[in-house]
Amino acid sequence: MTAAIIQALTSHWRSHWLQLATLLIGIALATGLWSAVQAINAEARASYARANAQLALGQFDELRDPSGAIPLTHYADLRRAGWQVAAVLEGPYRIQGRTLRVLGVDMVAYPALPAITEAEAETDPADILTAPGRLLASAELATLLQAQADLPPVLITTELPPDVILTDIGVAETLLDAPGQISRLVVLPNQPRSVPPLSEIAPDLERISPASQVDTAQLTDSFHLNLTAFGMLSFAVGLFIVNGTVGLAFAQRRGMIRTLRALGVSMRRLVWLILAELTLLALIGGIIGLILGFFLAGALLPDVAATLRGLYGAPVTGQLTLQPAWALAGLGMALGGTLIASAQALWRLSRMPLLAGPSVQAWRGSGQGQRLAAYCGLALLVFGGLAYTTVGGLLGGFALLAGLLTGAALLLPLCLSIALNLCARRARGPVTQWVWADMRAQLPGLSLALMALLLALAANIGVGTMVSSFRLTFVGWLDQRLTSELYLTAESDQQGREITQWLEPQVTAILPIRNVELAHETGPLFLYGVVDDPTYRQYWPLIARTDDSWDQVMSGDAVLINEQLARRADLWPGDVLRLGPNHQLPVAGVYSDYGNPTGQAIVSMMQLDLIAPGQEARRFGIRLDPNRATELAQTLRERFGLAPQAVVQQAAMKAQSRAIFEKTFVVTSALNVLTLGVAGFAILTSLLTLWTQRLPQIAPVWALGLDRAQLARLELSRSAILAAMTACLALPLGLILAWVLLAVINVEAFGWRLPMYVFPWDWLVLFLLTLVAALAAAALPALRLLRLPPADLLRVFANER
């Protein structure tokens, strides 16, 4: 009996293969886009975890000096007193324009690292410790390092993150030009019982537990959250296709179900078999989606990795590995999504009376359903607003976004219906009148696809506005921040002094760039010292300030902080910033600092020397007549033997910054386009699945004297008009979305607020793209209509149906 029922049920798909393909594509697209984002996130997080494990980060307490480097004497004192600590010196190291991270550890005392264990198995451990030492790096990095003549020999290891050089602390001192310096001390387990307390030996050091150490995963959380939100939006848009197709398939099978029940099959058995059928389809679609997602993630991951490395210094490899858990989660999403999208249709089918007619019209919804959806939409809008005002934070921001988008989507059919009603009332000619009325009648069947289009367009406008606003602000900000005509990095402190002396008589100003990394309760804090120069007073982008901000800073009485630190620590002009045990200064102003995840502060050079004496002076900004910049850069390179990248012109610096900026949004743009593509596909599938229901509407009009070419043109116009109306409604929604992203999500996630700009030209382009997508989606049904043999239209009138 079951076999016979299955045969009857599956016969539907044999005669509706396009519907089956649509359903599978819907599931595959939803799963594919979601899984791609998840694969990228999982790979990035796995990279962070791998890096933490490989470098033994976040496992032990650490000792840090809030004012900068730890003096060697403290290390010696602690060891002498019996403290089991391992010294670490770390810092950035640039080779051929690429920034690497050098991690110098005390090879004897530091916890056993997998990379060292691997290296010791292949080489004599003494080689690593004795001069010239060894550098441990990944195979890809090793190739780069081996090409440098002045570096120690390189050992290849599989146990290190990309862009990390692990070496003995002595070698690191040379590489980083930081003799006698220690960045932090790792407190090893199994300390002797009676060691003197830290406050007696080194009172200026702070002990930080693993829980309060800010790690990469925390820093990048908001980035991944944004990606996840986009993945979820794509998933939802894909499910609209599934919902529409399953709904129609079930409606078309009502006659068959009625017959099966009349022949003695229980509804319970039918529901179970349909559930099994849906499960099978979900798994097939899910597997296709996983394959799609894997390749999509593989294509996007290198850009994401570059973004994460650029923005956060996060160690992410650009290669994707297939994780069984990811595949299982993807299949789970496909199954869950399909069942959720089919739940309403299945429920309606299960409650269908035995003698109910096989009408397909029931599937198309009703005015009552439209009103109910609108009420739900309003409720969701209110929910989003309440969640934001009561919960607040990033979670509240995302709840606001979710409520706004889903609420607006549910309100769309009612809004369109009202608009179509108004148009129908103004229509004069019979054909126009019919077109408007027919569009309204078609609306329930198309509403899901139009909702998907609304979401995709709103996301496009919202994210587009955010990115373009960001770009405009960023470019303006770059102009303010990168005011020097040349940026120079000397090879040493001594060379820096020589260059300064040589330059002084020939340029307008030399602006040293010196900084020290401090520890702050909100995370790392980079303290910069500046000299008193009109450049800063004229151009530095202050967003909050006191009347005499710069005077206070230059006289050593105040500090300027970046927006990130201001928002995280809630410090604004007049508040006090603690820079170390003995240093605190009032905040005189806050400046914008886009793209920087960490806190930053500016004091006068004199203050910097007081807080962290002996900071090297290797980097400078040079002000001069812009026309002389190229010539002077070349002279500097030749005279002081500097590498080409050691002297960078302002334009090149800006171009580089803009390139990094654009790369940051490659993934967002790709997902944006894909979501719009899926929405376009949703319209196509809706039009195709509605096709069989269209004939009874079209045939009488054809019989009354409109030819097929006219009707085909009207089909195209209908699709374009509905898409255009949806696009018009998506515009305000997209702008609200942009405002939420700029004023709420960005502030919560990244710590800076951006001004919002509008870009009408972009809207026009998007509007035209939407029309093209809608016309493309309607082209196939219109072409079908154009080529439809009259015999097919005549079947509508046939008596023997």
Q: What is the binding site for other proteins (CB under 8 A)?
A: 429-431, 433-434, 437-438, 440-441, 696-697, 699-710, 790-791, 793-794, 796-801
> Toward other proteins, which CB reaches closer, 453 or 699?
699
Rounded to 5°, angle at Cα 252 from 694 and 700: 25
As a residue count, the chain comes to 801
DSSP 483-535: --SEEEE-SSHHHHHHHHHHHTTTSSEEEEEEEEEEEETTEEEEEEEE---HH
The CB-of-349 to other proteins minimum distance in angstroms stands at 22
The CB-of-711 to other proteins minimum distance in angstroms stands at 9
The CB-of-790 to other proteins minimum distance in angstroms stands at 5
> Toward other proteins, which CB reaches closer, 443 or 773?
443
Which amino acid makes up residue 129? L
> Toward other proteins, which CB reaches closer, 203 or 700?
700
The CB-of-307 to other proteins minimum distance in angstroms stands at 51
Q: For residue 120, how far is the Cα from the chain centroid?
A: 40
| Distances in whole angstroms, Cα of residue 225 to Cα of each of 228, 404, 585, 728, 758 | 5, 18, 35, 29, 25
* Largest pairwise CA distance in the chain: 105
> Toward other proteins, which CB reaches closer, 433 or 535?
433
The CB-of-682 to other proteins minimum distance in angstroms stands at 23
Cis peptide before 196, with omega less than 30 degrees from 0?
Answer: no
> Toward other proteins, which CB reaches closer, 10 or 421?
421
> Toward other proteins, which CB reaches closer, 427 or 731?
427
The CB-of-685 to other proteins minimum distance in angstroms stands at 22
The CB-of-796 to other proteins minimum distance in angstroms stands at 7
> Toward other proteins, which CB reaches closer, 472 or 706?
706
Integer Cα distance of 554 and 557 in angstroms: 7
| C-alpha dihedral, 601 to 538 to 652 to 465, nearest 10° | 80
Helix (H) or strand (E) holding 94: strand 85-95
The CB-of-800 to other proteins minimum distance in angstroms stands at 6
> Around Cβ 14, how many Cβ atoms within 10 Å?
8
What are the two backbone dihedrals, phi and then psi, of residue 598, each rounded to the nearest 5 degrees? -105, 165
> Toward other proteins, which CB reaches closer, 471 or 708?
708
- Kindly state the DSSP code that residue 362 receives in the 8-state scheme: G
- Cβ partners under 8 Å of residue 674, min gap 6: 33, 234, 296
> Around Cβ 452, how many Cβ atoms within 10 Å?
30
Strands 599-604 and 523-530: parallel
> Toward other proteins, which CB reaches closer, 699 or 733?
699
Residue (of 463, 668, 564) closest to 219 by Cα position: 564
- Cβ partners under 8 Å of residue 475, min gap 6: 658
Integer Cα distance of 114 and 53 in angstroms: 9
Residue (of 244, 674, 249, 741) closest to 451 by Cα position: 244
> Around Cβ 30, how many Cβ atoms within 10 Å?
29
The CB-of-362 to other proteins minimum distance in angstroms stands at 12
The CB-of-435 to other proteins minimum distance in angstroms stands at 10
The CB-of-441 to other proteins minimum distance in angstroms stands at 4
At which residue do the structure tokens 């899910």 appear? 286
Which amino acid makes up residue 546? T
> Toward other proteins, which CB reaches closer, 380 or 716?
716
- Beta-bridged to residue 578, according to DSSP, are 584
> Toward other proteins, which CB reaches closer, 508 or 710?
710
The CB-of-778 to other proteins minimum distance in angstroms stands at 18
Q: Is 678 exposed, middle or buried (0-12, 13-18, 19+ CB in 10 A)?
A: buried
> Toward other proteins, which CB reaches closer, 391 or 437?
437
